[in-house]
Structure 1
Amino acid sequence: MKLAQISTGSLRLRFLLAVMLWVALGVAGIWFTATRVFERHIEQMYHEELEVHVRELARLTELDGNGRPRLMRPLSDPRYEVPLSGFYWQVGVPGRAPLLSESMTRGRLDMSVAHSPDIAHKVERGPTGPAITYGLMERGPDGEEIHIVIATDQSELDDDIASFTNELSVWLLALAALLFATGLAIISFGLRPLARLREAITQLRSARVQKLEGRYPSEIAPLVTDLNEYIRQNGEIVARARVQAGNLAHSLRTPLAIVTDEAERLVQRESCASSGRVLLDQAEAMQQQIDYQLARARSAAGARVPGSRAMLPELAVPILNAMRRLHPDKAFELDAPADPVTIPADPVNLSELLSILLDNAGKWAKSQVTMAIGMSDQGQLTIRIEDNGPGMNEDQIARAFEVGTRFDPAMPGSGLGLAMARDICENLGARLELRRAGSGLTAIIYLPA
């Protein structure tokens, strides 16, 4: 899974944040608990060890003939014999020089901790820094007070705790990285069906397939089934809309023809000629608007229908043949790539668009119309329809897409062609552009590749 696929508000981001939060809380909890448990355990171990050593030191201590303390033998722990090792002991008798461990080459221990037969503990400053000190007081043969003190540097305990904490932190960080990587793998695997669904929808939108295909988990399968049913129903709705548009056109055409016929009869009567001409003009305007709005309704019904696709130049060949019969004195040429091109567009709408532009070019061309299929510099599919007619100036090009615009009343037509072509292009997600080409005119359709 690429990080580039992760965007704000995505499921991946939500799952990743949840995994990161859970891993962070879990690892932090383990770290805190383990360090606290180890700290208590090691402290208890140190205290128990010092208590054992102070009792051992008390058993080994005796007074010589002069009342000075001495040991019958060294302590069992050799660290008390290493200079400044951090492990020290001291035995003192009032009025006598204290007996010191070989490790204590400087400083003294506080004898006040050894004030009773019970073992006392405190933390004070020792020969090499803060020390954990244990002490007790015993009586000699003649009732002398013998003060026995043993100590360990606090740094010894702190170093053991720090060493454990550092090592634990490294291992827990490695565990966190492993858990996070596992979470990424689980998220990637769990969302793979959604990725396949996205790819299937992309193929559907690009007209590579007619419906969503493939097997999906039970949680997603109902969605896929509903989408396929929606696509099917949408196609039926489009088909019915086109039929209804045709029926509406047919039902309006008859009464409008009757109105037009009656208006023509009125024009022939001198007393009603003026009213007849008004009716004829309005009937023509009505017919123009009916044709335009019905054409818009038909093209809008098939706009961006999922799964719709058209093949070029296959779609254009029968249209060009029809144009050759409609304009027998004009040559219609096709310049297309060797490999067919699939366009995610409704073939009926695209056919109507090409028919309008080719017919318009055939009306104005002197001798030739060329249709070329290619790619623009921006990676868009282009269809260029070029004629060698008189062309248009810039002002005419700016007004060409207005409904009812006719630059030559003698030329057959209703002035709706280019306006309808523009609307069809918008419904297809395409763009229509007119340009002067020498003495003629070029219409360029920019389609999504």
Structure 2
Amino acid sequence: MRFGNSVTFRSLALTTAWFVIALLVIAIVISALYRNAAERGFRQLLQAEMFNVINSVSVDDNGELKGAPQLGNLNYQQPQTGWYWVVDPLYDPTKETLHSPSLGDTDLPRKSEDEVPYDGDFRRTYIVRDNNDNDVAVIETVVVMDEKDRAARIRVTGNRETVDDEVRWFSHRLYLALALFGAASVLLNGLVILWALSPLDKARRALSQISESGEGEMKGAFPHEVQPLADEINALLSNNRAIIERARMQVGNLAHSLKTPIAVLLNEAQRMSDKEGKLITSQVVMMQSQVQAYLNRARIAAQSESVLTRCDVQPTLERLVRVMRRLNPDTEFSFSCEAGLVLATEQQDLEEVVGNLLENAGRFARYSVEVKAHRLSETNGDGAGWAEITVVDDGPGLTPEEIRKAMKRGERLDESGAGSGLGLSIVDDIVQAYGGRFELTGLEGAGLHARVVLPAKG
């Protein structure tokens, strides 16, 4: 099956692609929103910790910084965590700096005011890497500590890895939840699509059954959207049967109406002298064969496009081979056919084609004739298949020039027996009417290989 032409495949592919794209966009947007919220909460936390430090530190009478801020985060008590607070006495560089236990004996890097200036509230934020390779976010401000206008610089930091870890944790669970939701949605959507399109599959099976059996109609209840199509197809099938039946009747009537005049001409020709009688007899026989050939062509044209046209190959060929074995007891006929092979032809047309080939092969074969039938791997433009039937004999064969002559209407290579010279041309007409191919190959003295390719069912 070509998936590109499948409504089910295209529906599933498009909806699945839409789900995947939509879920990816949703995941990216939600992750971005969560990161923004986490960043905002992180900054608000540092700002709150900064206010806590400001309220917990003072300057004594000797100008020393005093205070022990008790921040809620225990990371300020543990070393190398990236969570620090520092109070620098700007009023006297000789005074000791006050800092959190987590900073230890190390210094906290600081960006210059030229790189990151203070904002209108005399605060600034920036990111630096501490001595322990932690990326830390710094919030910094300058505060006047007392009425003597002694100012101190206060810095509070937080480890950005905390935000990154939180965002990763959230994103991982978000992607997992969306993946499970997407898989369940795609599965449910697929089941819904299959259920919604099941009437079309039912109609396809009904048509396939009609094509295989050559009879019947689309039965069963279909949805309101499909029922008019089923009714139209049933009407078309019924009309097609009626057209084929009328064509058969008209062809039969024409053949019957011509039968008597041609028989009269043959009888009259037989009463004439040998020379004139033979000439008229040969022409009447040729006329009879040509009339039959054109009647066959008209009948095939009326039914070749119908889904009802079918023929089981194996029983048809077996019957022909049995007849040829009785007519040619000294010739060995071997036969092989692919099981279940069905052609999109009428049975009488297949009998006409293979019968002519077997008759010629049986007449010229020395010892054996081989008949094979099987399906080909190639397909036609509509996706339907082809079948090949070969008839091979071990007779004297034909030269290329004799093959071209044998394919001409009315030409006979063997004048010793009865016949009109129309057998192979009739075969070619019937095969071409079904859109197939007829080929003769073989060298003189090496037998003849006849190959027929006809449309197959299924």
Q: TM-score range by the shorter chain?
A: 0.7 to 0.9
- Is 1:393 paired with 2:392? no
How far apart are residue 241 of structure 1 and its match?
Answer: 1.7
Deviation (angstroms), 1:152:
2.0
CA distance in 2, matches of 1:66, 1:413: 139
Matches within 5 A, 1:323-362: 343-344=342-343, 345-354=345-354, 356-357=356-357
Deviation at 1:404, TM superposition (A): 0.9
Q: For 2:68 and 2:339, how far apart are their aligned partners in 1? A: 107
Report the residue type matching 2:311 in the other structure.
Answer: A
Q: Which moved more, 1:81-90 or 1:166-175?
A: 166-175
Q: Which amino acid aligns with 1:300?
A: A
For the structure 1 residues 410 and 295, does the alpha-carbon distance in structure 2 shift closer, same or farther, using more than 3 Å as the test? farther
Query: Is 1:125 aligned to 2:128, yes or no?
Result: yes
Q: After TM superposition, list the pairs within 5 Å mapping 1:27-426 onto structure 2.
A: 27-72=23-68, 74-93=70-89, 94-95=91-92, 96-105=95-104, 106-108=106-108, 120-125=123-128, 127=130, 128-129=134-135, 131-140=137-146, 142-205=148-211, 207-208=212-213, 210-211=215-216, 213=218, 215=220, 217-218=222-223, 219-250=225-256, 289-303=290-304, 305-311=306-312, 315=316, 343-344=342-343, 345-354=345-354, 356-357=356-357, 364=363, 375=373, 382=389, 384=391, 393-394=398-399, 395-409=401-415, 411-426=417-432
- Alignment partner of 2:158: what SS? strand
Structure 2 regions of 5+ residues with no counterpart? Answer: 378-386
TM-fit CA distance, 1:99? 1.0
**More displaced, 149-158 or 284-293?**
284-293
Deviation at 1:56, TM superposition (A): 1.7
How far apart in 1 are the matches of 2:341 and 2:162?
A: 78
Does structure 2 retain, via aligned residues, the 8 Å contact 1:62–1:70?
yes
- 1:123 alignment partner AA: Y
Q: Deviations over 1:66-86 (max 9, x none)?
A: 121111553332211222312
Greater shift in the superposed pair: 371-380 or 126-135: 371-380
Give 1:402 deviation, angstroms.
Answer: 1.5
Alpha-carbon deviation of 1:10?
Answer: 3.7
Amino acid at match of 1:104: L
Residues 121-130 or 18-27, more deviating? 121-130
Distance 1:338 1:158, change over 3 A: closer
Determine the C-alpha separation between the residues in 2 that align with 1:111 and 1:430.
Answer: 89
Cα 1:378–1:41, aligned 2, differ >3 Å: closer, same or farther? closer
**Aligned counterparts of 1:78 and 1:341: Cα–Cα separation in 2:** 83
Q: Deviations over 1:180-216 (max 9, x none)?
A: 44444444454444445445444444x3452455646
Report the count of equivalent residues: 432
Identity %: 24
Matched residue type, 2:248: R
Report if aligned partners of 1:35, 1:165 keep a CA contact under 8 Å in 2: yes
Instruction: Check the 8 A contact 1:314/1:340 in 2, yes or no.
Output: no
Q: SS at 1:103's partner residue?
A: helix
Deviation of 1:384 (Å): 4.8
**SS of equivalent residue, structure 2 residue 86:** strand
Amino acid at match of 1:87: W
Partner Cα separation in structure 2 for residue 126 and residue 392 of structure 1:
96
Q: CA deviation at 1:133?
A: 0.4
Q: Distance in 1 between matches of 2:447 and 2:64?
A: 128
Deviations along 1:329-357, one digit per CA (max 9) or x if unpaired, are: 98999877899966333123234445545
Q: Which secondary structure does the structure 2 equivalent of 1:172 belong to?
A: helix
Partner-residue secondary structure (3-state), 2:107: coil
For the structure 1 residues 6 and 370, does the alpha-carbon distance in structure 2 shift closer, same or farther, using more than 3 Å as the test? closer
Tell me the SS of whatever aligns to 2:34. helix
The one-letter code of the counterpart of 2:215 is Q
Structure 1: runs of 5+ lacking an equivalent: none
List aligned pairs for 1:421-440, cutoff 5 A: 421-428=427-434
Deviation at 1:314, TM superposition (A): 5.4
In 2, the alpha carbon distance for the partners of 1:6 and 1:303 equals 25
Distance 1:214 1:396, change over 3 A: same
| CA distance in structure 2 between the partners assigned to 1:190 and 1:323 by the alignment | 55
Say if 1:401 and 1:418, in contact at 8 Å, map to a contact too. Answer: yes
CA deviations 1:84-116 (Å, max 9, x no partner) are: 312111223311332111222322457979999
Given candidates 9, 12, 19, the residue that maps to 1:23 is 19
In structure 1, distance between residues paired with 2:118 and 2:336:
107
**Residues 50, 151 of structure 1: 8 Å contact kept:** yes
**Matched residue type, 1:68:** E
| Cα offset, 1:405, TM superposition | 1.2
The CA deviation string for residues 156-187 of structure 1, in whole angstroms up to 9 with x for no partner, is 43443344334434543454444444444444
Question: CA RMSD for the aligned pairs?
Answer: 5.0
CA distance, structure 2, for counterparts of residue 373 and residue 365 of structure 1? 15
Separation in 2, partners of 1:360, 1:317: 17
CA distance, structure 2, for counterparts of residue 311 and residue 27 of structure 1: 54
**Aligned-partner Cα distance in 1 for 2:338–2:112:** 102
Aligned residue type for 1:53:
E
Residue 4 of structure 2 aligns to a residue in which SS?
coil
Determine the C-alpha separation between the residues in 1 that align with 2:175 and 2:99. Answer: 40
Provide the rounded CA distance (Å) in 2 between the counterparts of 1:382 and 1:78.
90
Does the Cα contact within 8 Å between 2:361 and 2:392 map onto a contact in 1?
A: yes
